[in-house]
Amino acid sequence: MAAAVQPKLIVEADAEALARAAAERVMARIAANSGRIAICLTGGSSPKKLYQLLGSEAWRGRIPWQRVHWFIGDERFVPASDPLNNMAVARATFLDRNAASSHIHPIPTATETPQQSAEAYARELRAFYGSESLDPSRPLFDLVLMGAGPDGHTASLFPGFPEIEESERWVVGVPRANVAPFVPRVSLTLPALASCREMLFEIAGHDKQPILTRLLNGETLPALRARSTGETVWLVDSAALPEGIRGPR
């Protein structure tokens, strides 16, 4: 599977339409795999409406929960019970009521350091995948959900930080964050995130217009460098779209 040259830009009318479009793409990826499915979730504000949809009565019955495993692309190095914990939000919103606990794979944060947490999660990912190295023809994930921060970071890979250049490890500890909340992080690396059939960015709201402008102008920020070995999609609402740009394309 060759890396995509250019992300596909899809524009929806508003945040609600964007969440529905994202949910449909999740379902399409699930339907495309008759075996074990791996979905990598994201934190932040971008996916909350999507998670609410997936947990709603109208959508949860469409998910074959017994076949889907749920991972997360990055985590704040805080206790699992902390409101800042990304997976805790996903669990409370839709996972705990629907998915078996053995199918939920949070990044462990009870270790002494973020790097120890990263090493533990890398071991879990390798055990799930069944290999110590990633094969481009056999993606780790069916779908990776992503967002773009105001500085252009994605997952917890920040511009100018050494972790963005990691090419061997699957998961890294990030001692400090570039944006609030200023807590240490644990993040999958670009190679691990790229090992997916689809990488789906959700970018919504007028406050995302400046960073989307920079990304569309080709500034080599982490959110632009993150590409799937399969398909990369930027799902954007009209409020985030810079003037003069039209979608979908």
Assess whether pLDDT exceeds 50 at residue 203: yes
Cβ–Cβ < 8 Å for 198, 206: no
Find the mean pLDDT for residues 14-39. 97
What share of the chain has pLDDT > 70, as a percent? 96
In angstroms, the CA 132 to CA 138 distance is 13
pLDDT at 245: 65
Find the mean pLDDT for residues 75-83. 95
Between β-strands 74-76 and 8-12, what pairing exists: parallel, antiparallel or unpaired?
unpaired
Assess whether pLDDT exceeds 60 at residue 92: yes
- Split at pLDDT 50, 70, 90, the class of 246 is low
Residue located via tokens 């997936």: 54
pLDDT at 1: 41
pLDDT at 107: 98
The alpha carbon of residue 40 and the mean position of all alpha carbons in its chain are separated, in whole angstroms, by 6
Among 45-49, 94-98, 153-157, 213-217, the minimum mean pLDDT is found in 45-49
Query: Higher model confidence: residue 249 or residue 173?
Result: 173
pLDDT at 4: 46
- Split at pLDDT 50, 70, 90, the class of 5 is low
Give the CA distances from residue 144 to residues 38, 172, 231, in Å, rounded to whole numbers and listed in that order. Answer: 9, 17, 10
Q: pTM (2 decimals)?
A: 0.94
- Summarize pLDDT for 31-49 with one digit per residue, the tens: 999 999 999 999 988 899 9
pLDDT at 2: 45
Assess whether pLDDT exceeds 90 at residue 159: yes
Assess whether pLDDT exceeds 60 at residue 247: no
| Radius of gyration, CA atoms only, the chain | 17
How many Cβ atoms from other residues are within 10 Å of residue 14's Cβ? 12
- Split at pLDDT 50, 70, 90, the class of 243 is confident
Residues whose CB falls within 8 Å of the CB of residue 110, separated by 6 or more in sequence, listed in order: 79, 80
